[in-house]
Amino acid sequence: MLKRTTWSLPHISLLTNTKRTLYGMPVLGYPIEKGCAKLLTPRLLDYHYNKHHRVILEKLNRLIEGTRFQGQPIDQVIKETELSDVSAAIHYYANEHFNHCFYWKSISPNPHKPYGTLKNYLNNDLRSYDVLKKEFMSKATSHFGSGWIWLVLFQHDYLEFRTYSNSENPLTDDCIPLMACDLWEHAYYLDYQNNRQKYLERFWDSIDWGFVNANLEESIKQSAVRLGGETMEQLHPRFTVNRDAPFEVTQKLQNIRIAKGVVTNKVYFDKSVQERIDRGEKFSYRDQDEFESADSDDEDYDEEFEKKL
């Protein structure tokens, strides 16, 4: 298994708006004038985005212009400057630019509830949704000083909340970032002053789980691409179908069926479905329900989970 997950996502460049040679401000998914629902007033959002984040970005671009870092994906810059004294400032500003880009995507005025692969992970997690929230609240409120709290994927299996000080983030840690929450005072001061608890309660209700799911599925795809061939069975069997991907069976390996852009567990196939797959029939996401065996507990579990939300 991978010890240190090297995570280089093409979509990070989109996330941090890397065009040509310098970085740009990410486009927000919601208008600044409206703020972000109950979480951020327009004034706070405006300050955080246009003053803090923009200043960080300008400083970063000024520092990397003309250096070998110009034009590189930001995660690469962050990893290469991690242990360097000379490039400490680049490391700091690159971290903060990345963190803030992730933050803007982690929240939404109309957030998605958990679905897809993420929902599978949550279903199989021993902790309930409320317990996860308690973990998040307790770690985030007890963090002292400036920093961030991230939801991360550890060893392809475990969802964890990790706090980091100042500008540090999972890119230089052994886990994969899924969601970020800014704990620096500037992130909440204008609206909440020292009431970090209230900010975090509202943040939890604003988490866009669709973004979390996208990161999770992307990291799984990346792992699949990297591991390749016969080692596919090392991948976790909890993967599910991407809603948008067409379902095509291309390969059969031991206990795992690999489909193009999709990994499913053979446990869910019964004989008649198997025959259809062998004939080369095309399926869509909606057909997945057919694939689940009658003995599967998942249907009941889903209902319970839905109720909790």
Partner 1 sequence: MLKNATRLIRTPLLTVTSRSQHSLPKLDYPVEGGVPPCISPKQLDYHYNKHHKTYIDKLNGLLPGSEFEGKPLDQIIVETAFDQKHTQVFNNAAQHFNHSFYWKCMTPNGSEFKGEIANAINKQYGSLDSFKKQFTEQAVALFGSGWAWLILKDNQISIWKSSNAGTPFVENAIPLLTCDVWEHAYYLDHQNRRPEYLKTFWDVVNWDFVNQQLVEASSIKHMSE
Binding site for partner 1 (CB under 8 A): 47, 51-52, 55, 92, 144-147, 165-167, 184-186, 189-190, 193-194
Q: How far is the CB of 89 from partner 1 (least distance, A)?
A: 9
Nearer to partner 1, 139 or 221 (CB): 139
Nearer to partner 1, 119 or 196 (CB): 196
Nearer to partner 1, 52 or 139 (CB): 52
Q: How far is the CB of 186 from partner 1 (least distance, A)?
A: 5
Q: How far is the CB of 195 from partner 1 (least distance, A)?
A: 9
Q: How far is the CB of 52 from partner 1 (least distance, A)?
A: 5
Q: How far is the CB of 188 from partner 1 (least distance, A)?
A: 10
- The position carrying tokens 């109309």 is 110
Q: What's the one-letter identity of residue 128?
A: S
**Which contacts (CB < 8 Å, 24+ apart) does range 110-113 have?**
110/37, 111/205, 111/206, 111/207, 111/208, 111/209, 111/210, 112/208, 112/209, 112/210, 112/211, 112/213, 113/209, 113/309
Q: How far is the CB of 276 from partner 1 (least distance, A)?
A: 58
Taking phi first (over 0 means left), then psi (-120 to 50 degrees means alpha), and beta for anything else, what does residue 20 get?
A: left
Q: What's the CA gap between 127 and 119, in Å, rounded? A: 13
At residue 100, the 3 state secondary structure works out as helix
DSSP 44-81: HHHIIIIIIIHHHHHHHHHHHTTSTTTTS-HHHHHHHT
User: Which residues lie closer than 8 Å to 74 by C-beta, 6 or more apart?
Assistant: 12, 13, 16, 18, 23, 94, 97, 98
Nearer to partner 1, 45 or 159 (CB): 45
Nearer to partner 1, 166 or 251 (CB): 166
Nearer to partner 1, 193 or 234 (CB): 193
